[in-house]
Amino acid sequence: MTVSAQKAADRGNRTRAQAGGRTTRTTSPLRPGRSRLLTGLMVLYLVYTLIPLVWLVISTTKTQPDLLSTPGLAPGHSFALFANIKETLTYRDGIFLRWFANTLLYVVVGAGGATLLATAAGYGLAKYKFPGRRAVFAVVLGATAIPPTALAVPTFLMFSGMGLTNTVWAIIVPSLVSPFGLYLMWVYAAEAVPQELLEAARIDGASEFRIFWTVALRLLAPGIVTVLLFAVVSTWNNYFLPLIMLSKPNLYPLTVGLTQWSNQAHGAGADPVYNLVVTGALLTIIPLIVVFFLLQRFWQSGLSAGSVKQ
Amino acid sequence: MKIGHRRRFRRVGLILAALTASTLVLAGCGGSGGGNGSASGDGGDKASPQALDAALKKGGKIIYWTWTPSAEAQVKAFMDEYPNVKVDLVNAGTGNDHYTKLQNAIKAGSGAPDVAQIEYQALPQYALPGALVDLRKYGLDSLESDYTPSTWRAVHVGDGLYGLPQDSGPMAMFYNKEVFDKYKLEVPKTWDEYTATAKKLHAADPTKWITNDSGDPGFTTSMIWQAGGKPFTTDGKKVTINLGDAGTKKWTSVWSPLVEQGLVSQIPGWSDEWFKGLGDGTIATMIYGAWMPGVFESSVPEGAGKWRVAPMPTYDGQPATAENGGSTESVLKQSKNPALAAAFVRWLNNGNGIKPFLEKGGFPATVKDLNDPAFINKKDPYFGDQAVNQVLVGTASTVVPGWSYLPFELYANTIYGDTAGKAYQAKSDLNAGLQAWQDALVKYGNEQGFEVNK
């Protein structure tokens, strides 16, 4: 989570630096010009990040035999992209579409809910003084340090005790909790919502809920989008939790389903469908890419908020 | 698709399997005391095969977990024959993914299927803690003469019968004739000849290897089996592990030099690189179970016409082989309709279910189908019109008797790479690697409540 945050921040800085370089060509300590070394490094980094994607796109155009017999970055003997897509969508009675719908459900309810909860809680903690606030702060901060993977097995045992494994709730309920999102919203709300505004609203007679819903929520929008993006990405990519919680293929999200396809290349009765696995992987990342492009603006402004003290 | 990723996923699965397996074994041992002796005690009233017919007539619904490629066709044929019965077919994953979920469900006390595919090597791990129904209860032990002796033994744990054999995997040597012809190699009959062939091939073309082995526990145990080793014995809670016995040493005396001299490739089995290597001649032989032709035909199209089958090399030139892989279908104790589940298993592996299985290229465990002239003499165009089943069926009768797996074989397999596997990477003595494996297994077994090497 933090790594991706950093990456996103880097990307933000990069575009800003480039924009700066383009408009003003002066070199001063405040507005550094282009550094060949840094540009070279960034180009290398860009190539490094894009090659897997290029490989994926090229691979999706190959048939299963071509995938194994032709070099990874070279085209295959035939262009099988559309045949692959068709087969991916219809293989095993079109279970891929089912997985797609499941993933959407987990993302909309899980990530959406997580964002809502994080926003409400972050706002509450930032704007209301109450005893035990510091304790909550310590717990939340501590929770961000625990990787969700470490909690998966205990969560499984707990859920199995409650009879919730093998249901959509086994994925949605844990996804609703996002300590990092809460922390982010807390910091953001403390900066973005002026105390004076809240007091003015109170004097005008607005209820606390109305203040949150009509005043604060708008001010918090960039932060909300940031948290939403984080939550969407992590829920979309969630692998370990559904892997142990679910045994019905009908409930799988894309990550677990595609791994199952990938693993069926193993042992007696092996049935490798790598062409479907890579095509499925490409189809899986497209929605994420779209979401990124659409919400990129908010994402960047959300991340840089609070970086400068006003 | 990237090997690194796949391996990591697999490793995650393995860790999970190990985690859940450990708790399962523990629970089982605490509860049942004499798990394998309690067959007569549980149930008490012994049902007859007629009870199974009655259950089929009455109908109902059962859930069946499997990754067998022919399962869809089998289930459809079954439901056509018995419209009263609804079989819910679930592919919960292949191998370890499947076991992880199965063990989770068993441990949770609900959510397990009525019938599950279980590989022979994994059967004790489920049977000993009492998760499976002893099918002697339904008189299925009367079917003994229908199966090969090695598969019949494989579905037993102690005296209990915990499934019916679906397929068998007597080992044979698959070799790439094109490569053999090109480098003028003779098909090896003994392991000494095999080693000589390996040297000759790799010297002639350093990009080609006689085979690959990066540390595969299933292959290792089968090879020790063929060499006459019996490193694992289980008697109730008492387990003996001796990976330094004469048979094991016999195998390592052949295989360790091959690994140490870099004569076997380190391409991991079942990776995309491996499938590629089977197609382009990088890997010249493959010693695997009789189910391998199906894998070749469906997954290595470039190898068509190049591959042939020969009996597995032996130590003294006399035919001998081991089982490698193969599965049973078992009835889970959690099943609410065990009679119907058992009837389904009987249909699958002793009835009309065998035909769809064979049509998908499966290798049967039933004597009748193995000896069917149409099956034996079928010419296979993939193998240059060789009658591959003649070789494979011929080896089925030479399986070395007396082998058994550990009651925690799945866990053992998961840690093979981290213990013995290091010897492969370092190209060092496999005996030391196996000793490391044994030490880890003894420690684990004792922690789980077994009495290992005590």
**Residue B367 falls inside a structural domain:** no
Q: Where does the pLDDT of residue A140 fall: very low under 50, low under 70, confident under 90, or very high at 90 and above?
A: confident
Catalogue the long-range contacts made by A31-34 (C-beta closer than 8 Å, 24 or more residues apart).
none
Which of 145-204 (A) contact B at CB < 8 A?
Answer: 153, 156, 160, 163, 165-166
Substitution target from A58, A165, A247 for chain B, most B beta carbons within 10 A: A247
**Residue B153 falls inside a structural domain:** yes
- With CA atoms as reference, the chain A residue closest to B16 would be A244
The shortest C-alpha distance from B47 to chain A (Å) reads: 32
Q: What is the arithmetic mean of pLDDT over A202-217? A: 91
Nearest to A69 among B93, B102, B280 (CB): B280
Nearest to A274 among B1, B19, B301 (CB): B1
At residue B93, the pLDDT reads 84
Nearest to A69 among B110, B167, B279 (CB): B279
The shortest C-alpha distance from A234 to chain B (Å) reads: 17
At residue B236, the pLDDT reads 85
8-state DSSP, B380: B
Which residue stretches of B306-378 are H helix? 338-350, 354-359, 367-370, 373-376
Q: Which of B310, B345, B362 is the last residue of a domain?
A: B362
Is the pLDDT at A302 greater than 80, yes or no? no
Is the pLDDT at B107 greater than 60, yes or no? yes
The shortest C-alpha distance from B45 to chain A (Å) reads: 32
Sign of the CA dihedral running A200, A206, A211, A213: negative
Per residue in B438-448, pLDDT (tens digit) is 999 999 999 99
Residues B40 and B140 both lie in one domain: yes
Q: Where does the pLDDT of residue B162 fall: very low under 50, low under 70, confident under 90, or very high at 90 and above?
A: very high
Q: Where does the pLDDT of residue A30 fall: very low under 50, low under 70, confident under 90, or very high at 90 and above?
A: low
| Calpha distance B59→B52 (Å, rounded) | 11
Residues B428 and B351 both lie in one domain: no
- B27 at interface of A, judged by CB pairs closer than 8 A: no
| Calpha distance A226→A184 (Å, rounded) | 9
**What are the Cα distances from residue A207, in Å, to A124, A190, A201, B111, B172?**
14, 20, 8, 48, 80
- A78 at interface of B, judged by CB pairs closer than 8 A: no
- B54 at interface of A, judged by CB pairs closer than 8 A: no
**Residue A39 falls inside a structural domain:** no
8-state DSSP, B118: E
| Calpha distance A258→A277 (Å, rounded) | 6
Q: What is the arithmetic mean of pLDDT over B140-148? A: 95
Q: What is the arithmetic mean of pLDDT over B208-229? A: 96
- A74 at interface of B, judged by CB pairs closer than 8 A: no
**Residue A188 falls inside a structural domain:** yes
Is the pLDDT at B433 greater than 90, yes or no? yes
Nearest to A268 among B12, B104, B325 (CB): B325
Is the pLDDT at A57 greater than 80, yes or no? yes
Domain boundaries, position A103: 2-13+93-304
| B279 contacts A68? CB cut-off 8 A | yes
Q: What is the arithmetic mean of pLDDT over B373-399? A: 94
**Residue B262 falls inside a structural domain:** yes
Is the pLDDT at A152 greater than 50, yes or no? yes
pTM of the complete model beyond 0.90: no
**Residue B304 falls inside a structural domain:** yes
Nearest to A269 among B1, B67, B105 (CB): B67
**Residue B224 falls inside a structural domain:** yes
The shortest C-alpha distance from B294 to chain A (Å) reads: 7
At residue A37, the pLDDT reads 92
**Residue A235 falls inside a structural domain:** yes
Over pLDDT 90: what percentage of chain B? Answer: 77
Residues B133 and B230 both lie in one domain: no
Q: Where does the pLDDT of residue B252 fall: very low under 50, low under 70, confident under 90, or very high at 90 and above?
A: very high
Residues B109 and B243 both lie in one domain: no
Is the pLDDT at A21 greater than 90, yes or no? no
Is the pLDDT at B388 greater than 70, yes or no? yes
| Calpha distance A68→B348 (Å, rounded) | 34
Is the pLDDT at B422 greater than 90, yes or no? yes
Which residues make beta-bridge pairs with B173? B287, B310
At residue B369, the pLDDT reads 94
Over pLDDT 70: what percentage of chain B? Answer: 90
Q: Which residue has the higher pLDDT, A31 or B206?
A: B206
The shortest C-alpha distance from A148 to chain B (Å) reads: 14
**Residue B441 falls inside a structural domain:** yes
Is the pLDDT at A92 greater than 90, yes or no? no
| Calpha distance A8→A304 (Å, rounded) | 10
Is the pLDDT at A15 greater than 90, yes or no? no
Residues B147 and B265 both lie in one domain: no
Q: Where does the pLDDT of residue B135 fall: very low under 50, low under 70, confident under 90, or very high at 90 and above?
A: very high
| Calpha distance B81→A37 (Å, rounded) | 73
Residues B408 and B350 both lie in one domain: no
Nearest to A260 among B69, B93, B291 (CB): B93
Of B21, B11, B454, B384, give the one whose Cα is nearest residue B174. B384
Q: Where does the pLDDT of residue A26 fall: very low under 50, low under 70, confident under 90, or very high at 90 and above?
A: low
Residues B338 and B292 both lie in one domain: no
Tell me the pLDDT of chain A averaged across its residues: 84
Neighbours of A6 (CB within 10 A): 11
Of A193, A32, A243, A70, give the one whose Cα is nearest residue B92. A243
ipTM: 0.71
Q: Where does the pLDDT of residue B121 fall: very low under 50, low under 70, confident under 90, or very high at 90 and above?
A: very high
User: What is the domain-level CATH number for residue B334?
Assistant: 3.40.190.10
Residues B307 and B416 both lie in one domain: yes
**Residue A83 falls inside a structural domain:** no
Domain tally for chain A? 1
Per residue in B294-336, pLDDT (tens digit) is 889 888 888 999 999 999 999 999 999 999 999 999 999 999 9
- Residue A50, burial from CB neighbour count under 10 angstroms (0-12, 13-18, 19+): exposed
Instruction: Estimate to the nearest angstrom the gap between the alpha carbon of B243 and the chain centroid.
Output: 20
**Residue A8 falls inside a structural domain:** yes
Which residues make beta-bridge pairs with A251? none
Give the lowest-confidence range in A247-256, A292-301, B258-267: A292-301
At residue A232, the pLDDT reads 92
- B327 at interface of A, judged by CB pairs closer than 8 A: yes
**Residue A43 falls inside a structural domain:** no
User: What is the domain-level CATH number for residue A284?
Assistant: 1.10.3720.10
- Residue A111, burial from CB neighbour count under 10 angstroms (0-12, 13-18, 19+): buried
Phi, psi of B404 (to 5 degrees): -145, 155
- Two tokens at B408? 């925690």
Is the pLDDT at B175 greater than 60, yes or no? yes
Q: Where does the pLDDT of residue A49 fall: very low under 50, low under 70, confident under 90, or very high at 90 and above?
A: very high
Rounded to the nearest 10 degrees, the angle between the axes of helix B217-226 and helix B246-260 is 130
Per residue in B19-76, pLDDT (tens digit) is 444 444 443 333 333 333 333 334 445 677 788 999 999 999 999 999 988 999 999 9
**Residue B395 falls inside a structural domain:** no
Domain boundaries, position B299: 172-322+401-452
At residue B321, the pLDDT reads 96
- B356 at interface of A, judged by CB pairs closer than 8 A: no
Residue A191 makes CB contacts below 8 A (sequence gap 6+) with: A305, A306, A310
**Residue A24 falls inside a structural domain:** no
Residues B54 and B79 both lie in one domain: yes
Q: What is the arithmetic mean of pLDDT over B396-410? A: 92
Q: Which residue has the higher pLDDT, A34 or A11?
A: A34
Task: Judge whether B105 and B140 are in contact, CB under 8 Å.
Answer: no
- B261 at interface of A, judged by CB pairs closer than 8 A: no
Domain tally for chain B? 2
At residue B10, the pLDDT reads 47
**Residue B369 falls inside a structural domain:** no
| B12 contacts A240? CB cut-off 8 A | yes
Q: What is the arithmetic mean of pLDDT over B416-435? A: 95
User: Which chain B residues are Cβ-neighbours of A265 within 8 angstroms?
Assistant: 270, 272, 275, 299
User: Which chain B residues are Cβ-neighbours of A263 within 8 angstroms?
Assistant: 6, 9-10, 13, 93-95, 97
At residue A306, the pLDDT reads 53
User: Which chain A residues are Cβ-neighbours of B276 within 8 angstroms?
Assistant: 68-69
Top mean pLDDT of A12-21, A132-141, B236-245 is at B236-245
**Residue A25 falls inside a structural domain:** no
- B84 at interface of A, judged by CB pairs closer than 8 A: no
The shortest C-alpha distance from B292 to chain A (Å) reads: 7
